[in-house]
């Protein structure tokens, strides 16, 4: 607590100072305060997270990257690099990774996804191994197991559409491919696994109108409210669960030198679908949650629920996928569309920020990280003011009286003290560090934005 008290005192000293350097200092100090609270919470047996979240994030004591010990390891490993001395960050990181490994022995990882599967744990180990080579042997073993898991059981292909969990970023092939591309190349199995996922995503994105491989049946709609909105099924557009995720993964692989037959055409078709599906408001382009299909399986614009201004759904996440695609396709016009649409999303945020969460998935921390991603591009100065504003708003949400300094906001307006990476305080700390310290971008692969 002494360390936290010192940090909070420093925050108060600079709180009224003007200038970017002081603001970034405040962001760094707040990230460290949050990490200190997470370190204290790590020793508690009981979780302060609502149990219902385990269905999405995985068990707090499990190996999940988004909600469990793998995510804790990431934030403690980054803290070891970004925070000042006074807390045994390396020890906390090792303990979290050991707990994640122990959890897999009790319940082996059967899925390949980022949320609670093998690729999420592998990505966490990748972040740790970049800064501490001692993790490399464990990473190599897990990488080989993940590659073999994918080669032996590639995602299924059917003639009645797809399941979101087979292809999406959170649980499916898109997130797994992103993680594989971050791992050290390790032999033929690694290459074969990447090719297997690429071939599946190319198939997903290459069907003809009326025979959409990426279509979701009405009975499988997520969230369930979409079953009435899309009685004949739909195409999900978001980055977390929709076709923007496969586009990002295909583009990342292309830029990494992995290029399969039909890959470029699949990217172009997905870009076309996303651009055809956008709507316009006073600020510019926006995207709904999805596009409905008619009784013949053809896409038609339906009065769909509006997408959030967030990572998971809506313009910001889709813009990041379009930015990846513009690099892979060497398309300057598409790059301009992505940047302009992201600027429109930032303007739109002014009216929506009050009702937004503070976290990565559908909140301000996610917006901050995505603006930072655009700021790293050649014309990124256009996003500097947005970054400064988001830092201020996010810092205003942080309070010393809260158990973890910051809370998540549920759709019904209730608040949740959540330590996780995707929906909790760990992700907020990472976002604040990303704009105030050189912590690298590998952790952003959990969001498929870098």
For the record, the structure tokens of 148 come out as: 């073999």
DSSP code for 445:
G
pLDDT of residue 322: 98
pLDDT of residue 10: 47
Half-sphere exposure of 152 (CA within 13 A, CB side): 9
pLDDT of residue 12: 41
pLDDT of residue 42: 76
* Exposure string for 45-77, b = 16+ CB within 10 A, e = fewer: eebebeeebbebbbbbbbbbbbbbbbbbbbbbb
d(CA 127, CA 330): 29
d(CA 287, CA 308): 8
Per-residue pLDDT tens digits for 311-369 = 999 999 999 999 999 999 999 999 999 999 999 999 998 777 778 899 999 999 999 99
3-class DSSP state of 441: coil
Which sign, positive or negative, has the C-alpha torsion 286, 289, 295, 298? positive
Kindly report the pTM of this predicted structure: 0.92
Half-sphere exposure of 202 (CA within 13 A, CB side): 16
Phi, then psi, of 285 in degrees rounded to 5: -70, 145
3-class DSSP state of 375: helix
pLDDT of residue 128: 96
pLDDT of residue 409: 86
pLDDT of residue 18: 45
d(CA 194, CA 201): 11
Taking only the tens of pLDDT, the chain with its 450 residues reads: 455 455 444 444 433 444 457 889 999 999 999 999 999 987 664 444 445 555 455 557 789 999 999 999 999 999 999 998 889 999 999 999 999 999 998 888 889 999 989 999 999 999 999 989 999 999 999 999 999 999 999 999 988 889 999 999 999 999 999 999 999 887 899 999 999 999 999 999 998 777 889 999 988 888 788 888 899 999 999 999 999 999 999 999 999 999 999 999 999 999 999 999 999 989 999 999 999 998 888 888 766 777 789 999 999 999 999 999 999 999 999 999 999 999 999 999 877 777 889 999 999 999 999 999 999 997 878 999 999 999 999 999 999 999 999 999 887 888 889 999 999 999 999 999 999 999 999 999 999 999
H or E element that contains 300: strand 299-300
CB distance 131 to 77 below 8 Å: yes
């Amino acid at each position: 607590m002494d360390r936290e008290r010192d940090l909070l005192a420093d925050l108060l000293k600079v709180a009224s100072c003007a200038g970017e350097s002081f603001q970034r200092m405040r962001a760094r100090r707040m990230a460290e305060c949050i990490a200190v609270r997470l370190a204290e919470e790590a020793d508690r047996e009981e979780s302060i997270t609502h149990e219902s979240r385990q269905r999405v994030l995985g068990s707090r004591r499990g190996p999940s990257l988004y909600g469990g010990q793998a995510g804790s390891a990431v934030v403690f490993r980054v803290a070891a690099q970004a925070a000042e001395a006074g807390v045994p960050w390396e020890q906390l990181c090792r303990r979290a990774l050991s707990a994640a490994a122990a959890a897999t022995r009790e319940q082996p990882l059967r899925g390949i996804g980022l949320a609670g599967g093998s690729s999420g744990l592998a990505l966490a180990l990748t972040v740790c191994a970049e800064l501490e080579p001692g993790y490399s042997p464990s990473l190599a073993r897990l990488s080989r197991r993940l590659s073999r898991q994918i080669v032996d059981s590639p995602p299924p292909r059917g003639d009645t559409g797809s399941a979101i969990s087979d292809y999406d970023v959170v649980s499916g092939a898109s997130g797994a491919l992103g993680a594989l591309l971050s791992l050290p190349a390790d032999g033929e199995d690694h290459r074969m696994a990447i090719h297997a996922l690429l071939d599946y995503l190319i198939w997903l994105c290459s069907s003809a109108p009326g025979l959409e491989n990426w279509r979701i049946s009405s009975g499988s709609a997520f969230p369930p409210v979409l079953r009435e909105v899309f009685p004949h099924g739909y195409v999900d557009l978001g980055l977390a669960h929709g076709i923007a995720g496969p586009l990002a993964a295909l583009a990342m692989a292309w830029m990494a030198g992995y290029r399969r037959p039909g890959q470029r055409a699949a990217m172009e078709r997905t870009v076309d679908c996303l651009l055809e599906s956008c709507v316009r408001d006073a600020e510019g382009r926006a995207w709904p949650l999805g596009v409905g299909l008619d009784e013949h399986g053809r896409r038609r614009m339906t009065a769909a629920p509006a997408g959030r201004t967030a990572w998971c759904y809506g313009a910001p996440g889709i813009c990041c996928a379009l930015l990846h695609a513009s690099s892979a396709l060497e398309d300057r016009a598409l790059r301009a569309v992505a940047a302009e649409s992201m600027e429109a999303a930032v303007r739109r945020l002014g009216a929506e920020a009050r009702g937004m969460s503070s976290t990565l998935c559908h909140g301000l921390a996610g917006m901050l990280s995505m603006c930072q991603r655009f700021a790293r591009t050649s014309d990124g100065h256009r996003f500097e003011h947005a970054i400064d504003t988001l830092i201020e708003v996010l810092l205003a949400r942080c309070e010393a009286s809260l158990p973890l300094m910051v809370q998540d906001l549920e759709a019904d307006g209730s608040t949740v003290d959540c330590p996780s990476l995707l929906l909790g305080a760990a992700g907020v700390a990472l976002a604040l560090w990303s704009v105030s310290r050189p912590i690298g971008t590998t952790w952003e692969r959990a969001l498929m934005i870098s």
